[in-house]
């Protein structure tokens, strides 16, 4: 009789291993999850990444410093300007460049615009993950307007490559401030409508409340960052704790939730969009006249040494570590993407939950595979 009893945790005949991905509607890119299911319950999950591995770190290390900026566009393609900022800061630190004040404000404005665009993607795809298709399209409608604005400034919609070591590639076009303000007015109104449509929806609430809880201790031990960390009640925002560029001169609240569940992470992101709008307005108002581009050495050969920058990308801590040996090319460019870390938490988070919850948890981590695989 005992021989028939399966050991606890061992696979039984009712187990089923399914592959979610690499082609699957909910994996947001080429991610593969090998999931062992017991009926509707997840017994274990092993993410398989690397389908998008391009060796970007090595490619950047094989080129002069300033040429590595366009590669960072391809890291987190939903928020390319934030990646541009991270590498630019690292290069500025290793080469000792100064950034003019106006450029700092322009950078912050661009990054926050991109943060809104990125969070809108999260909003839309998360709604689609939970099953609400209409909210998805509404979010993309607003994002489209925002991308038009980015296009008017930088000439590209996704891979902007406009924040460079030493400043910003160009100043704003004429009448840009008014256009951005007009967008923000409409956007905040739309955001309230989305709140009514999705946040207030009881079905959305029961699907996300109490699902995928990350305790603050676990979030820290795993190195979670950004909205995932702040959704767990840890008040760490690098724009505050290690301020850079014009952030020390802007006022904004850091949204914080203590529940640590999917809903908390969602609400943090939605509130961050409002705060980003606030920061953009302040930037436009307080931006001083001046240069958008600092003084730059013609040949860039930083002294041997190391430098790193930590920035708050929409997904969390995006940091770049540069190692120089005094030549024109870096020895090592290390990109620490928040999505990579968040995805590594997934197996622990989804153990024992239902398939549908697994999708909700994966969506709430908001990973971008371009950054995971690099």
Binding-site size for other proteins (CB under 8 A) equals 86
Q: Footprint of other proteins on residues 59-78 (CB under 8 A)?
A: 63, 67-71, 73
- Listed ranges 4-12, 141-149, 256-264, 280-288: which one lies at the site for other proteins (CB under 8 A): 141-149
In the complex, the smallest distance separating the C-beta of residue 279 from other proteins, rounded to whole angstroms, is 22
Q: Footprint of other proteins on residues 250-279 (CB under 8 A)?
A: none
Q: Footprint of other proteins on residues 92-121 (CB under 8 A)?
A: none
Among 242, 278, 301, 329, binds other proteins (CB under 8 A): 242
End-to-end Cα separation, the chain, in angstroms: 52
Half-sphere exposure of 146 (CA within 13 A, CB side): 31
In the complex, the smallest distance separating the C-beta of residue 321 from other proteins, rounded to whole angstroms, is 7
- Listed ranges 3-11, 109-117, 215-223, 281-289: which one lies at the site for other proteins (CB under 8 A): 215-223
Q: Which is nearer to other proteins, 138 or 247 (CB)?
A: 138
In the complex, the smallest distance separating the C-beta of residue 95 from other proteins, rounded to whole angstroms, is 16
Q: Which is nearer to other proteins, 55 or 290 (CB)?
A: 55
- Listed ranges 4-12, 105-113, 127-135, 274-282: which one lies at the site for other proteins (CB under 8 A): 127-135
From CA 209, how far away is CA 188, in angstroms rounded? 25
From CA 210, how far away is CA 212, in angstroms rounded? 7
Length of the chain, in residues: 374
Contact flags string 23-62 toward other proteins, x per CB under 8 A: -xxx----------x--x--------xx--x-x-xx----
Q: Which is nearer to other proteins, 25 or 285 (CB)?
A: 25
Among 6, 96, 131, 326, binds other proteins (CB under 8 A): 131
Q: Which is nearer to other proteins, 37 or 282 (CB)?
A: 37
* Tokens of residue 333, six digits: 């460019």
Is residue 318 a contact residue for other proteins (CB under 8 A)?
Answer: no
Q: Which is nearer to other proteins, 148 or 253 (CB)?
A: 148
Place of tokens 């389908």: 51
Q: Footprint of other proteins on residues 172-201 (CB under 8 A)?
A: 173, 193, 196-198, 200-201
Q: Which is nearer to other proteins, 38 or 101 (CB)?
A: 38
In the complex, the smallest distance separating the C-beta of residue 127 from other proteins, rounded to whole angstroms, is 7
Q: Which is nearer to other proteins, 152 or 181 (CB)?
A: 152
Q: Which is nearer to other proteins, 100 or 338 (CB)?
A: 338
Q: Which is nearer to other proteins, 168 or 282 (CB)?
A: 168
Is residue 317 a contact residue for other proteins (CB under 8 A)?
Answer: yes
CB neighbours of residue 333 within 10 Å: 25
In the complex, the smallest distance separating the C-beta of residue 1 from other proteins, rounded to whole angstroms, is 29
Residue from 86, 120, 139, 81 nearest 269 by CA: 120
Is residue 357 a contact residue for other proteins (CB under 8 A)?
Answer: yes
Q: Which residues, 6 or more positions from 164, have their beta carbon under 8 angstroms from its beta carbon?
A: 66, 69, 84, 88, 293
């Amino acid at each position: 009789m005992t021989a028939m009893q399966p050991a606890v945790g061992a696979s039984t005949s009712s187990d089923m291993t399914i592959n979610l991905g690499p082609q699957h509607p909910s994996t947001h890119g080429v991610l593969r999850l090998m999931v062992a299911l017991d009926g509707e319950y997840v017994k274990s999950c092993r993410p398989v990444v690397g389908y998008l591995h391009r060796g970007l770190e090595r490619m950047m290390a094989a080129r002069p410093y300033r040429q590595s900026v366009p590669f960072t566009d391809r890291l987190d393609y939903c928020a390319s300007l934030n990646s541009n900022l991270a590498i630019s800061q690292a290069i500025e630190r290793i080469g000792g460049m100064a950034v003019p004040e106006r450029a700092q404000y322009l950078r912050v404005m661009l990054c926050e615009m991109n943060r809104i665009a990125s969070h809108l993607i999260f909003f839309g795809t998360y709604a689609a993950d939970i099953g609400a298709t209409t909210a998805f399209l509404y979010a993309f409608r607003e994002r489209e307007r925002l991308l038009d604005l980015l296009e008017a400034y930088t000439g590209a919609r996704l891979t902007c490559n406009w924040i460079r070591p030493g400043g910003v590639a160009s100043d704003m076009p004429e009448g840009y401030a008014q256009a951005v303000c007009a967008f923000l007015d409409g956007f905040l109104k739309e955001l309230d409508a989305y709140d009514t449509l999705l946040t207030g929806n009881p079905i959305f609430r029961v699907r996300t409340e109490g699902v995928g809880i990350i305790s603050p201790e676990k979030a820290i031990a795993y190195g979670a960052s950004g909205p995932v960390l702040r959704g767990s009640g840890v008040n760490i925002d690098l724009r505050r704790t290690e301020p850079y560029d014009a952030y020390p001169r802007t006022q904004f609240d850091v949204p914080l939730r203590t529940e640590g569940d999917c809903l908390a992470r969602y609400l943090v992101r939605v509130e961050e969009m409002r705060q980003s709008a606030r920061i953009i307005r302040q930037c436009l108002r307080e931006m001083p006249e001046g240069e958008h581009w600092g003084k730059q050495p013609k040949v860039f050969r930083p002294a041997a040494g190391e430098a790193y920058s930590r920035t708050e990308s929409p997904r969390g801590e995006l940091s770049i570590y540069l190692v120089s040996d005094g030549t024109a090319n870096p020895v090592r460019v290390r990109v620490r993407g928040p999505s990579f870390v968040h995805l590594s938490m997934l197996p622990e988070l989804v153990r024992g939950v239902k398939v549908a919850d697994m999708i909700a948890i994966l969506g709430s981590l908001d990973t971008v595979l371009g950054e995971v695989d690099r």
